[in-house]
């Protein structure tokens, strides 16, 4: 049974929410994070924290052995599509080489389950409903590094008889209903940046790409609440552990929402006029990608709890008020 769980990148946005649900279910959680993009504020008190990164194989192996780790949730990565195009070496070093080091650390230990955070960026752009069997054709450096990691994990787990769950996130947003954790770092996160902006007296927001061939000219995304993503991590871990199986799953709601639709919802909640400044399309950005989540629903008998844009937006604004 999965009891002692190591989360790489556990001081980050998704890591902290996954930690929260694991602790609620009486699991022992161990966090590895170098705090380069993570935050001490997001580390829950009941989790044990080690400040290091996934490139330090010996340190990782010692942590795994000394704490009898049986399952690893691998979230540590750099995530910005735009940055990946400007600095591909960084993305290959951290995402790909870092994953290799983690796998080497796991080898010949008591770890039997591995959950990996992949991305919808491994798919070809423009698909309305992508299944796990849809052709993989990443258009960004970021997407290509994640696909390389998927392949490494599949080969490693097969050779070393580990169970794996590869979770292809669509666009994660929102904050925990507990009010204790949420997103802190900004980057190029739509919901986070809008949450900050609508707190201002005269909010202004940048939109990158407003002339795409979509209903309103902006990109279309499949957004999923972070608490639902975290719940998926927990349930997939239990399932692959119990049945000694492995899987690849799309993690989205299966609904396309445009950037402009999100902006309108924020304007409504904030009850403010939001000035929009349009910028050129960014290299590597996907125009449209929507999940077919039927495999996820069947595998877990899963029903989302936060499948509503208003709930996601509301949780983002409430979190921003909390940390302001």
Name the residues annotated as catalytic: 142
Residues with Cβ < 8 Å from 62, sequence gap 6 or more?
Answer: none
Dist. CA 3–CA 116, nearest whole Å: 18
Matching residue, tokens 């000035």: 275
CA distance 1 to 242: 7
Q: Tokens 């921003």 appear where? A: 320
C-alpha distances in Å from residue 79, one per residue of 9, 37, 100, 117: 12, 10, 17, 11
| Cβ-defined contacts of 119-124 (< 8 Å, 24+) | 119/143, 119/146, 119/168, 119/169, 120/168, 120/169, 120/170, 120/171, 120/222, 120/250, 120/252, 120/286, 120/289, 120/291, 121/81, 121/146, 121/286, 122/146, 122/147, 122/150, 122/168, 123/168, 123/289
CA angle 250–252–254, rounded 5-degree value:
105
């Amino acid at each position: 049974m999965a009891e002692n769980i190591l989360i790489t990148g556990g001081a980050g946005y998704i890591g902290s929410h996954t930690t929260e649900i694991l602790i609620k279910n009486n699991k022992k959680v161990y966090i590895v994070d170098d705090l380069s993009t993570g935050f001490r504020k997001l580390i829950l008190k009941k989790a044990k924290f080690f400040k290091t990164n996934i490139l330090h194989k010996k340190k990782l192996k010692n942590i795994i052995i000394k704490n009898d780790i049986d399952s690893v949730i691998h979230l540590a990565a750099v995530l910005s599509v735009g940055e990946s195009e400007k600095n591909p070496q960084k993305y290959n070093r951290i995402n790909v080489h870092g994953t290799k080091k983690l796998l080497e650390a796991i080898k010949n230990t008591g770890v039997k389950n591995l959950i990996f955070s992949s991305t919808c960026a491994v798919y070809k752009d423009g698909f309305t409903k992508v299944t796990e069997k849809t052709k993989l054709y990443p258009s960004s450096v970021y997407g290509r590094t994640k696909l390389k990691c998927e392949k490494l994990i599949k080969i490693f787990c097969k050779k070393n008889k580990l169970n794996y769950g590869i979770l292809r996130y669509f666009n994660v947003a929102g904050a925990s209903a507990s009010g204790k954790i949420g997103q802190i770092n900004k980057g190029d996160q739509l919901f986070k940046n809008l949450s900050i902006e609508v707190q201002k007296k005269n909010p202004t927001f940048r939109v990158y790409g407003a002339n795409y061939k979509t209903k309103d000219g902006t990109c279309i995304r499949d957004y999923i609440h972070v608490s639902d993503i975290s719940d998926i991590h927990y349930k997939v871990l239990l399932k692959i552990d119990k049945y000694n199986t492995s899987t690849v799953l799309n993690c989205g709601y299966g609904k396309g929402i445009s950037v402009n639709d999100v902006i309108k919802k924020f304007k409504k909640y904030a009850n403010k006029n939001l000035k929009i400044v349009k910028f050129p399309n960014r290299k590597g950005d996907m125009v449209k990608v929507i999940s077919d989540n039927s495999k996820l629903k069947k595998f877990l008998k899963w029903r989302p709890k936060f499948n509503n844009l208003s709930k996601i937006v509301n949780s983002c604004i409430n979190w921003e008020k909390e940390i302001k």
